[in-house]
Amino acid sequence: MHYRQIPGTGLRVSELAFGNFIYGSSLWGKGPNDEAQGIRLQNRAFDLGVNFFDTADAYDNGRAENMMAETLRYAGRDNIILSTKFGYDFYGDPGGAGSHRERRQDFTPAFIRTALEQSLRRLQTDRIDLWQAHNLKLPQMRETLVATLDLLQQQGKIRAWGVALGPAIGWREEGVIALRQWKAATVQTVFNLLEQHPGREFCEIAQKLGTSGIISRVPHSSGILQDLYTTESTFTDHRKFRDRNWLVYGLRKVEKLRGIQKQHRCTLGQLAIKWLLTWPACISVQPNITSEDELKEFAAACDGQWLTAGEMNDIQTLVETDFGLGPDAHACDLKSSVSATGVTRSYYQAGEPVPELLRPARATPVSATL
């Protein structure tokens, strides 16, 4: 296992992160069958060199944090870089079983302090290493939030803070503000080989500024980059919100990556992780880990053997030309949390046209950023 420093902090995190969001919702697919099995998988990740664990207070309304406390005890608190999140008022809006509706959020200073104390209690610790604003949206990005987080950092209750963007792909404006204006320690976003925007731009900004790191979530494009599906596959979890072209054309896209995969003698899932870690600003990759086999596969990809500049540029050319498959194969466009009509998005939905002013300029060639 290799490790990377979160810029401006004393936090050195494993390139593979373990996120236990799979315990908090059926939205993310099937995880371990019971709590004890999930804790064993967390502990096994630590045994394989993973020191970066990411949870959230809202995952199963606190249950995932309770489970993480068991792994802190197993590994020893000082051996873990612990990340959790805040912003959902599940105390007042607990949600319903099986619901995919996004719950009420609260980023007021008073709620933030209450949420932190409750997380510390569930995690049975006195500090959070990385605290992330959970699915923060543009209208909620106020300086009072930054001031509150800076104060909690000064008090030693959190060591660093960042933002986790979503729920869907995009949230470019939020990420740019967090990186350029707030100098947040981390930005977590949907970022993978097939869905490069706006994650690639975030990596370019972070590397130029040297003040932040990027955490990739959904690194396998919801399983397309794991050789899991056929064109007949159907879904009942978060993947049902995907456009069907994601599946149909995604399966055709990966066939154009087989040559690079063969060169690296790895699985497609490992290639996806290697591509992400070739970006210097991508400090850690957080895939869905539902079994020990997946855990071993993904950990083995963090071996320091990254893609060459030529391979990265070949992939970039494929992405920018929609793999030669036509406009229907185009990945989800950039989105803000605010639609062109001024409505705040707060749930999974199909992509919408993006105003021209929100589109970034053509990305810098990859070889110039590595």
Peptide bond into 139 cis (omega under 30): no
Kindly state the helix (H) or strand (E) to which residue 132 belongs, with its residue range: strand 128-134
End-to-end C-alpha distance for the chain, whole angstroms = 21
> 112: left (phi > 0), else alpha (psi -120 to 50), else beta?
alpha
C-alpha to C-alpha distance for 227 and 66, rounded to whole angstroms: 33
Q: Which residue has the tokens 């990420």?
A: 175
Would you state the pLDDT for residue 98? Answer: 54
Q: Where are the beta strands (DSSP E) in 34-125?
A: 52-54, 81-86
Res 32: pLDDT: 60
* Per-residue model confidence as pLDDT tens for the chain (370 residues): 999 999 999 999 999 999 988 765 555 555 565 788 889 999 999 999 999 999 999 888 888 999 999 999 999 999 999 999 999 988 887 776 655 567 889 999 999 999 999 999 999 999 999 999 999 999 899 999 999 999 999 999 999 999 999 887 888 999 999 999 999 999 999 999 999 999 999 999 999 999 999 999 999 999 999 999 999 988 877 787 788 899 999 999 999 999 999 999 999 999 999 999 999 999 999 999 999 999 999 999 999 999 999 999 999 999 999 999 999 999 877 778 887 788 877 654 443 343 333 333 344 554 445 5
Question: Which residues partner with 217 through β-bridges?
Answer: 190, 286
At residue 97, the pLDDT reads: 60
Whole-number pLDDT of residue 72: 98
Angle among Cα 130, 131, 132 to the nearest 5 degrees reads: 115
Secondary structure class of 133 (helix, strand, coil): strand
Residues 226 and 293: their CA atoms lie apart, in Å, by 13
Residue 30: predicted pLDDT? 56
Phi, psi of 344 (to 5 degrees): -80, 125
Q: Are 135 and 165 in contact (CB under 8 A)?
A: yes
Task: Give the domains, in start order, of the chain with CATH numbers.
Answer: 3-368 (3.20.20.100)
**Chain position carrying tokens 């608190």:** 77
Residue 320 neighbours by CB distance under 10 Å: 11
Please report, for residues 40, 162, 197, 247, 320, the alpha-carbon distance to residue 327 in angstroms, rounded to integers and kept in the order given: 45, 35, 16, 15, 11
Tell me which long-range contacts 101-109 makes (C-beta under 8 A, separation of at least 24). 101/347, 102/135, 102/167, 102/346, 102/347, 103/58, 105/134, 105/135, 105/137, 105/140, 105/346, 107/133, 107/136, 107/140, 107/142, 107/145, 108/144, 109/144, 109/145, 109/147, 109/148
Within 13 A of 294's CA, how many CA atoms are on the CB side? 20
Per the DSSP assignment, residues forming a β-bridge with 161 are: 131
